Amino acid sequence: MNILVTGGGGFIGSHLVDLLLKQGHSVRVLDNFSTGHRSNIPLSNSALQVVEGDIRDQMTVEQTVSGVDAIVHLAAVASVQASVDDPFGTHEVNLIGTVNLLEAAKKHSVGRFVFASSAAVYGDVKQLPVCEDIPLQPLTPYAADKLSSEFYIDFYRRQYGLESVIFRFFNIFGPRQDPSSPYSGVIGIFMERAIADLPITVFGDGDQSRDFVYVADLAILLCRSVESDQPLIKPMNVGNGKGTNLNQLLDYLHEFTGRPLDVSHFEPRLGDIRHSLADNRRLIEMMNYQCIYPVVDGLRLTYEWCLDRSRMNSDAVCGRIS
Ligand code: NAD
Ligand code: UD1
């Protein structure tokens, strides 16, 4: 198949690109490399085509979609906090970008449209785990744009017969998650700072918990959803069904590094969700898939990757000095 991955240079996208190429597919990546990196993807692979462009740009999107069989739409401003700080800027990417892709998919009769929605659409739910059918309460611009994107996708499915798959990812982690911005995912930030012996900031008391999923599990699911010809109409949670709080994460990191960590606590972030945990029964039933990687195994693999990267960076610096 010929598959377009928007955001294919990013953390999740690059793992999917690797797997799709391994499965023998041709892959086109559309990315503006705002948070993604060219170095994440195998640029010399002849089955990979990279288009550097912006999903906000209608013309670029239309040209890039031409000739593809399926789209996996991952490009977005992935940070909840960034959407609180800049609602207009993130809205243009996270909703208008989606509508641009849907219009192009309609025009070019694309077979399947797979979308990265988020657990953020549920809001701060008291009754856990959350199943897909509970009333949705998006609390942030990020969550509102993800939910609106779901509604638009549903419209294109009903109106134009676009086959769509909506996954509501819980917290995905693993190698290549960029830790360099305060908007980055918590595991990448904590690991990088623990390895470099830098202070770690916890917003709140650290008791807030997430359902962390190792990225290799997600790549398998996304790949299967593109290859499947089964209708997968209802949105599906992608979670492990197990909660881990930030204090537990810090305990694991303490164990991995063998050193005490320098941890400070600040006020909780505005709109932050306290606990998030997936009911993953629908995923198991519809995709016949249950996450393979226990969180602690994924954490260890990620830690090893972060250590290697930090060693490579310090070798490069020493090389330059000597
Ligand atoms: P990421 O930032 O690593 O990836 C996003 C990619 O999109 C990057 O390569 C970035 O350069 C690209 N991009 C951003 N704006 C763009 C634009 N205007 N035009 C073209 N490309 C653009 O983040 P990620 O964690 O890999 O997230 C991928 C998707 O999964 C996002 O849609 C995110 O909202 C969703 N998601 C992520 C998580 C998670 O825990 N990481 C959870 C739920 C949903
Ligand atoms: C994450 C994803 C979002 C996704 C959502 C689904 C990222 C950047 N965000 O949001 O795309 O839709 O899961 O559930 O991948 N924290 C600290 N210190 C830090 C950084 C974070 O204490 O240095 C805290 C945050 O306040 C929050 C928790 O860690 O309580 C998780 O934060 P984060 O990794 O940004 O994830 P979500 O906001 O859950």
Report the distance separating Cα 172 and Cα 215, nearest Å.
6
5 CA distance to ligand 1 middle (Å): 11
75 CA distance to ligand 1 middle (Å): 5
- Among all bound ligands, the one having the nearest atom to the CA of 185 is 2
Pairing outcome for strands 163-169 and 171-173: unpaired
Tokens 């997430």: give the residue.
Answer: 210
Determine if ligand 1 sits within 6 Å of the CB of residue 7: yes
Atom of ligand 2 nearest to the CA of 246: 29
Determine if ligand 1 sits within 6 Å of the CB of residue 190: no
Q: At 171, phi and psi to the nearest 5? A: -90, 115
Does residue 180 fall inside a structural domain? no
- Among all bound ligands, the one having the nearest atom to the CA of 214 is 1
Same domain, yes or no, for 9 and 143? Answer: yes
Same domain, yes or no, for 53 and 105? Answer: yes
For position 262, which CATH number holds?
3.90.25.10
Atom of ligand 2 nearest to the CA of 266: 22
Determine if ligand 1 sits within 6 Å of the CB of residue 169: yes
Same domain, yes or no, for 121 and 255? Answer: no
Ligand 1 atom 21 nearest Cα: 31
Same domain, yes or no, for 45 and 154? Answer: yes
Segments of the chain with pLDDT less than 50: 321-322
Q: Over the stretch 251-265, which tens digit does the pLDDT of each residue have?
A: 999 999 999 999 999
Does residue 322 fall inside a structural domain? no
Determine if ligand 2 sits within 6 Å of the CB of residue 200: no
Report the distance separating Cα 198 and Cα 262, nearest Å.
7
Q: What is the pTM of this model?
A: 0.96
Does residue 41 fall inside a structural domain? yes
What distances in angstroms separate CA 21 from CA 3, 39, 105, 223, 257, one per listed residue? 10, 16, 22, 10, 35
Same domain, yes or no, for 89 and 25? Answer: yes
Angle at which helices 215-227 and 11-22 cross, to 10°: 50
Catalytic status, residue 142: yes
What is the extent of the structural domain holding 299? 186-210+241-279+292-314
Q: How many domains does the chain have?
A: 2
**pLDDT at site 22:** 98
Q: Over the stretch 272-302, which tens digit does the pLDDT of each residue have?
A: 889 999 999 999 999 999 999 999 999 999 9
Does residue 199 fall inside a structural domain? yes
Same domain, yes or no, for 160 and 263? Answer: no
Determine if ligand 1 sits within 6 Å of the CB of residue 115: no
For position 125, which CATH number holds?
3.40.50.720
